[in-house]
Amino acid sequence: MATAGKVIRCRAAVAWAPGKPLSVEEVEVAPPKAGEVRIKIVATGICHSDEHILKGSLLNVEFPVILGHEGAGIVESTGEGVTSVKPGDKVIPLCVPQCGKCSFCLNPESNLCQKFHLCESQNLLPDKTSRFSCKGKQIHHFLWVSTFAEYTVVPEYAVAKIDAAAPLDKVCLFGCGFSTGYGAAINTAKVKPGSTCAVFGLGGVGLSVIIGCKVAGASRIIAVDINKDKFAKAKQLGATDCINPQDFKKPIQEVLTEMTGQGVDYSFEVIGKPETMVAALASCNMNTGVCVVLGVLDSGAEISIDPMLLLTGRTWKGSMLGGWKSRECLPKLVSSYLEKKFNPDLLITHTLPFDKVNEGFELLRTGKSIRTVLLF
């Protein structure tokens, strides 16, 4: 490409400080160094985690920063030594890398990597410098992916090459939301055919959990949310029952236990509040129930529970990116999508031009959207 080896000037949504709207600016994106890939982002989803960062309530993210971690694009150029992708390839940048060398990557049971943000900071690229600048200032990366920029630079082990037939405006959701929810049902909970499931929170990730439970053969999928506008979509994707906790005088865990006889086999918390995490745990079977936590709590939040909830045998676990080893599994997931094994397109309720990024966040905050996809 004519731009290879040169600085590219392009649009990006810069978060200058927490609590402020994003600012669409012209930024400079430096060429990739050895082992790095520069990607032209075609489409990016808006995920609730981006909103948590904007509010200043999550992770040790440094400002100013270019957020976004749910994107898809085309390789523009590669740095020295990159062999797994070439210019023109369709790719998904990975917010959970897979270096293939650390003890996490070498463990078949693990899907995290020691290069991941919770192990070592991803605010700058591995050489501790940034490829982004704006108005003479260095801008930080976010989880290395920073998909709210027309061009981004990521390490090779944070890029998955996908099928050339994949529609980028749909498979961008595989970078976070869809893969996270679907995998939580398939890989983390390992939902069995004929089982009963409860899903707390019907955003993009919660609805993806429902898709996973259905594909796994669950016979009853109970969707729980205080926004009844989301029930029609939940039923369309496979929910058998939809309940609003505000319609009941008793706690929701008692309602679910009565509905199912002895609690559900699997429950999923996809909201991120201490009280719903405890309710989800209490609503699964006291002995064999499995509760998976996907919701992100505000930094510093804590949970107190009655240990008897666990002593009787329940399993309480978390899940990151749905348990998928990212570079290895995301291309296979995209291929399954192209074979029509599941249809996450239904999660996309709004498509906006990139310049309307703040409008996309407003739709998320007011509960009017499931997923908004921004197109460059």
The residues carrying an active-site annotation are: 47, 49, 52, 69, 176
| Collapsed DSSP state (helix, strand, coil) of residue 347 | helix
CA-to-CA distance for 52 and 331, rounded, in angstroms? 28
CA-to-CA distance for 29 and 261, rounded, in angstroms? 58
Q: Are 375 and 148 in contact (CB under 8 A)?
A: no
Tokens at residue 55, please? 């509010």
Side chain identity at residue 143, one-letter code: L
Computed on alpha carbons and rounded to an integer, the radius of gyration of the chain in Å comes to 20
First-last CA distance in the chain? 19
H-helix segments, 185-340? 204-215, 231-237, 252-260, 274-282, 308-311, 326-338
CA-to-CA distance for 63 and 240, rounded, in angstroms? 43
CA-to-CA distance for 48 and 45, rounded, in angstroms? 10
Q: Are 223 and 229 in contact (CB under 8 A)?
A: no
SS3 percent helix, strand, coil of the chain, rounded to 5, is: 30, 25, 45
Tokens at residue 14, please? 């810069």
